[in-house]
Every structure is written in C-alpha cells, then in structure tokens.
Amino acid sequence: MNIFTRGFRGRKRDSSGQLPPGQYLTDDFPVLSAGPTPRISLDAWEFTVTTEQGESHRWSWAELMALPAESVTVDVHCVTRWSKLDTVWRGVSLDTLLTDIETEADFALVHSYGGYSTNLPLEDLLGGKAWVAYEYEGEELAPEHGAPARLLVPHLYFWKSAKWVRGIDLMVQDSPGFWEQLGYHDYGDPWREQRYQGD
Amino acid sequence: MDTTTTATHGASSGTRGTKGPPFLAASPSGGAAARTASASTLVLEVIGWPGHLAGQHVDVRLTAPDGYQAARSYSLAAPTDGDRIEITVQRVPDGEVSSYLADEARDGDVVEVRGPVGGWFVWKPEDSGPVLLVAGGSGVVPLMAMIRSRDGVSPAPFRLIYSVRTPQDRIYDHELRRRATQDGGLEVAFLYTRTVPDGETRSVGRITAEDLIAYGWPADVKPTCYVCGPTAFVETVSDLLVGLGHDPAMIKTERFGPSGP
Ligand SMILES: Cc1cc2nc3c(=O)[nH]c(=O)nc-3n(C[C@H](O)[C@H](O)[C@H](O)COP(=O)(O)OP(=O)(O)OC[C@H]3O[C@@H](n4cnc5c(N)ncnc54)[C@H](O)[C@@H]3O)c2cc1C
C-alpha cells in the first residue's frame, strides 16, 4: 500500500545509516519507566546472579567497584522511537561478572529494584555486548536513568537495559519480563524493528 | 560457562510466522474537534480498529512524498467507539509530528496508526478501587480516556489533579468542568503554573505535596495512582506520592517527553 500524508514533508533525513528503521535522532535523554524512580543506597545495594541450580553469586557496591571497568561508546535505541548516538558509559562487562559461574542456562531474566524485569538470551549478555553501567558521560548515573547501576545492552531496544538493576536469574527456559508480558517483543532487535509481539 | 548451547536463541527472535499489529490507514474526520492555545484534538477514522483500553496509546506514522516516514506515540483520549479513535496533540516548538497533526492535518488526509500499545498504564471499568489521576499539560489525555470510560459504568471514586500553565491551556476544559458537577464520584482540581483565572485562591506554582494532600487521596485509602505528563513533572509527582506514603507498586506512570508546564 502506498500511503502518503498530504502536507507532510518531515524534517531531518538520516543518510548516515546509523539509525535503525522507524527511529529518529534526539539530543535529549528521554526517560521511560512504568513507575516512580526507586532510590537505593549504596550500602544496601547488591547485585546477585542466581543460576538454574539456585546457586547465588553476590557483589556489594564496593566489590563491583573493585572489578575492572570498561568505558564504551555506543548508540542506544528506545522502542518509543528515539535514538541517541555515541553515548559514553562506564561499567563492568557481564563477561567479567559471569566468568566463574557454572551454568547450562540459555536465558536470563534481569531484575531491578522497584520490581521491573526483562528477559533476554544469555548469549546477548556475553561476548562484550553488555555491561552493568554506573557512569554516563563521565558522571554518576542520574536516579531516573537507573542509579546506582543499570544494565546496558545497546544492541537491543533500550527497555532491555534494565535501570536500577539488582540481579540476573540464569534459566534453562525463557520467561517473559515486565514489558514482554505486556505485548512488547521477546527479543527486541531495533534493526529488525522488533517492537511488539509478533514483529 | 557454556555459550555454545544457545542455538535456541533464534526461536525467540526471528522465526515467528505471524506479524505484529499492522499500521492501519487513518483519516481525520469531523474537523478539528477542539483546539486550545496549545493543543488540538483529532478524531480519526480507522477501518478495522480492534478496540482498546483507557490509557493505551497508538503509534501515528506520517509519510512524506519522498517516502520518508516519522512516527510518534499518542494516547487514546476516548473509549473504544467502533472505527473512531480520538487523540489530542500538543504543539511542541519545531516538533516534526506534533506540528503537522496539531496544525496541518485536515479531513480526508491519510496518516497511519498502529496499536493499541501499552498494557500497564491502563484502567479497566472492573477496577473498583479509588483512583488518583495527576496530569501535567497534555498528560491529561490518557486520564481523560479513563474518566470517560468510567462514566455511567463504574462507581470507582476518581480524583483528578490537573496542572496547566494558564487557564487557556486547559484541554477538555468544558467537559471536565461539566463532568466535575455531573459525574458522581469525580472530583477535579486545576493547578496553574503561570497565570491563574479570576477567583482562584491557590497562587501560581508547580505542584506540591500540599496539593496532593488537599486534592488527592490519603495513602491509607490505597488509591491506584496514574501520573502522566512531561518527564520532570512525572518524576516530581511520583516522588511526592512515595514521600506521602503511597505504595510505589500502586503508582503507574507515563512520561511523554522532556519539558512542559
Ligand atoms: C506513551 C506516550 C504517549 C504520548 N501521548 C501523547 C499525547 O497524548 N499527546 C501529546 O501531545 N504527546 C504525546 N506524547 C509525546 C509525543 O509522542 C511526541 O513526543 C511529541 O508530540 C513531540 O513529537 P514531535 O515530532 O512533534 O517533536 P520532535 O520533532 O520529536 O521534537 C522537537 C523538539 O521538541 C522536544 N520534545 C519532544 N517531545 C516533547 C514533548 N513531549 N514535550 C515537549 N518537548 C518535546 C524535543 O526534545 C525536540 O527538541 C506521548 C509520548 C509517549 C511516549
């Protein structure tokens, strides 16, 4: 079907090929959250990885800070259609966090303070593709952007990059997270425009 | 760590036979239904619209003659009504999509919509508990859908607190004031951040905890709270509600964008 909208010209064209289909460029940093912003003190903060055998591995804030950190420059793409290019983050690679953990799991369910969750294949957390990030553009993360730490999985739509991250359950079976139960796509590849269930 | 056994990964992504909800052709009809200084309401005819819940939104897509497309989200302002849906679009300075929809779109033009989208920020008539609605600017749109869906169907007590810049910026002004006197169990309070109308006792200013105490529900009533508007407004209000003792799990938020009243 060839529909066009009389009188609409549009503003910017992305000729760089850096934007996935249906996305537009923004310089702001919009916020998308389903509820209030949780406030978590660093003393109480913990990050826990639990395997399919029920074995838990925990890191306090001090322990996370003691791990080798990486600075990465990545593009982020939100399902509400904004994209931001060349954002700079600092955090600990999931490869580092998961390196000594024995698991046969294929899936991960990520949990946040405040009750949010999101699922993704474990493979997508490994191989230099995901971080527990605690700095954005050289500053501490802001509360509404996930302080003290958020997941960063920039190759998937940004709802997978869970803010206020508190832990990951490693699982043999996939299990949908918060938005995934509400009609959003299980995988969420922006380059294949996997916004909603069935895309 | 065994990362070689992740062959099932593709099963959760690309191999589905079905498609997600399609974009449907939509045409404005019945003229610009209502206009304020800052916003326009559009009624769109969407052949094959599947129906929706109060609080859900649509993605609206525009296509330029050279094939360039731009899409944004807009909340549904009214309950399901066959093939007609209603949206209210606030003009954003230099806004690519909002300025077209608010100022340019005319009856018979063709845009596309996809939806309904969103299953969290919704109110259903069978939810009978008390409800607090807090809106900043165009954030009133999905809350209006809830108020309209409630009418004559649900006795759930509703309180709306609606913050706007000036009296001229009140969207659904007449309808809200009529409903505040006619819809039993609905209370409406307007707050002004720049200019107050004659006779208003509260002075201009951004929303405070005192406003939420005066016009909202005490936390021990355990209302479901829906907070919608510009990001900074939603951050402020949801923090205030948590501070007043409301359970964070009972506070549902929708953030429209960066700036606002
Ligand atoms: C779930 C959801 C529901 C929404 N429902 C509604 C609705 O019912 N009515 C409505 O009017 N809008 C709604 N919005 C906002 C809408 O999707 C667009 O973001 C808005 O119309 C601006 O788009 P634009 O193309 O005109 O501006 P753009 O061209 O994208 O932006 C132009 C400039 O305006 C700024 N800007 C972008 N968005 C906003 C904003 N919301 N407020 C102020 N400044 C902004 C940008 O930073 C930029 O500088 C909703 C957003 C979401 C995520």
pLDDT of residue B11: 34
Mean pLDDT calculated for residue range B55-60: 97
Mention every residue, 6+ apart, whose C-beta is less than 8 A from residue A157: A77, A78, A79, A185, A188, A189, A190, A194, A195
When the pLDDT of each residue in chain B is averaged and rounded to a whole number, the result is 89
pLDDT of residue B22: 86
Q: How far apart are CA B146 and CA B96, in angstroms?
A: 28
Query: Phi/psi at B169 (nearest 5 deg)?
Result: -90, 0
Residues in chain B with CB shorter than 8 Å from the CB of A4 are 63-65, 67, 110
Start-to-end Cα distance in chain A:
18
The answer on pLDDT for B8 being more than 50 is no
Mention every residue, 6+ apart, whose C-beta is less than 8 A from residue A178: A34, A115, A116, A117, A118, B120
Helices and strands (H and E) in chain A: how many: 3, 11
- Nearest-5° angle of CA A177, CA A163, CA A171? 35
CB of B140 closer than 8 Å to CB of B228: yes
Among residues 211-240 of chain B, which lie with CB inside 8 Å of chain A? 231, 235, 238-239
The answer on pLDDT for B94 being more than 90 is no
Band (pLDDT 50/70/90 cuts) for residue B21 is confident
Mention every residue, 6+ apart, whose C-beta is less than 8 A from residue B33: B41, B42, B43, B86
Q: Ligand 1 centre and the CA of A53: distance in Å?
A: 46
Residues in chain A with CB shorter than 8 Å from the CB of B20 are 185, 195-199
What ipTM describes this predicted complex?
0.87
User: Closest approach of chain A CAs to the CA of B197, in angstroms?
Assistant: 32
pLDDT of residue A30: 84
Band (pLDDT 50/70/90 cuts) for residue B93 is confident
The DSSP code for A184 is B
Band (pLDDT 50/70/90 cuts) for residue B4 is very low
For residue B192 the two structure tokens come to 């002004």
**Residue tagged 């939810």 (tokens):** B127
Q: Is B249 on the interface with A (CB under 8 A)?
A: yes
The answer on pLDDT for B15 being more than 80 is no
Q: Ligand 1 centre and the CA of B258: distance in Å?
A: 8
Q: How far apart are CA A126 and CA B173, in angstroms?
A: 53
* CATH classification (class only), A24-29+42-192: alpha beta
Ligand 1, residues B43, B256, B259: which to mutate, most atoms within 8 A of Cβ? B256
User: What stretches in chain A show pLDDT beneath 50?
Assistant: none
* Structural domains for chain B: 24-117 (2.40.30.10), 131-256 (3.40.50.80)
The answer on pLDDT for B5 being more than 60 is no
Among residues 94-113 of chain B, which lie with CB inside 8 Å of chain A? 94, 96, 100, 104-106, 109-112
The answer on pLDDT for B13 being more than 60 is no
Band (pLDDT 50/70/90 cuts) for residue B157 is very high
Q: Which residue of A has its CA nearest to B104?
A: A7
For the ranges A2-11, B104-113, B189-198, B241-250, which has the lowest average pLDDT? A2-11
Chain-chain contact of B70 with A24 (C-beta, under 8 angstroms): yes
The domains of chain A are located at 24-29+42-192
Whose Cα sits closest to atom 9 in ligand 1?
A: B89
Q: Which of B3, B6, B13 to mutate to test the interface with A (most CBs of A within 10 A)?
A: B13
The DSSP code for B169 is G
Nearest atom within ligand 1 for CA of residue B95:
26
Side chain identity, residue B157: P
Chain-chain contact of B249 with A24 (C-beta, under 8 angstroms): no
Whose Cα sits closest to atom 26 in ligand 1?
A: B95
Mean pLDDT calculated for residue range B10-14: 34
Q: Is B128 on the interface with A (CB under 8 A)?
A: no
Band (pLDDT 50/70/90 cuts) for residue B9 is very low
Residue whose C-alpha is closest to residue B135's, from B125, B146, B127: B146
Q: Where are the beta strands (DSSP E) in chain A?
A: 24-25, 46-50, 56-60, 70-77, 82-93, 107-112, 117-121, 131-136, 139-140, 150-152, 165-171
Mention every residue, 6+ apart, whose C-beta is less than 8 A from residue B202: B191, B192, B196, B211
Mean pLDDT calculated for residue range B201-224: 97
Q: Is B56 on the interface with A (CB under 8 A)?
A: no
Q: Ligand 1 centre and the CA of B73: distance in Å?
A: 8
**Residue tagged 């069935």 (tokens):** A198
Q: How far apart are CA B75 and CA B81, in angstroms?
A: 15
Residues in chain B with CB shorter than 8 Å from the CB of A179 are 120
**Residue tagged 């993605």 (tokens):** B59
For residue B180 the two structure tokens come to 């505040």
Tell me, using a 6 A CB cutoff, whether residue B120 lines ligand 1: no
| Crossing angle (nearest 10°) for helices B140-150 and B173-182 | 40
Q: Ligand 1 centre and the CA of B90: distance in Å?
A: 8
Tell me, using a 6 A CB cutoff, whether residue B74 lines ligand 1: yes
Q: How far apart are CA B113 and CA B25, in angstroms?
A: 7
pLDDT of residue A2: 67
Mean pLDDT calculated for residue range B154-162: 97
Q: How far apart are CA B96 and CA A153, in angstroms?
A: 29
Band (pLDDT 50/70/90 cuts) for residue B19 is low
For residue B38 the two structure tokens come to 């800052």
- Indicate the burial class of B22 (C-beta count within 10 angstroms; 0-12, 13-18, 19 or more): exposed
Mean pLDDT calculated for residue range B235-242: 97
Give per-residue pLDDT as tens, B105-143: 988 899 999 999 998 999 999 999 999 999 999 999 999
Residue whose C-alpha is closest to residue A122's, from A112, A110, A108: A108
- Higher confidence at residue B22 or residue B9? B22
Whose Cα sits closest to atom 40 in ligand 1?
A: B257
Band (pLDDT 50/70/90 cuts) for residue B80 is very high
Chain-chain contact of A81 with B8 (C-beta, under 8 angstroms): no
Q: How far apart are CA B63 and CA B78, in angstroms?
A: 25
The answer on pLDDT for B63 being more than 60 is yes
pLDDT of residue B26: 93
| Among candidates A122, A185, A195 on the partner chain, residue whose Cβ is nearest the Cβ of B6 | A122
Mean pLDDT calculated for residue range B1-30: 56
User: Closest approach of chain A CAs to the CA of B176, in angstroms?
Assistant: 26
pLDDT of residue B257: 79
Q: Which residue of B has its CA nearest to A144?
A: B235
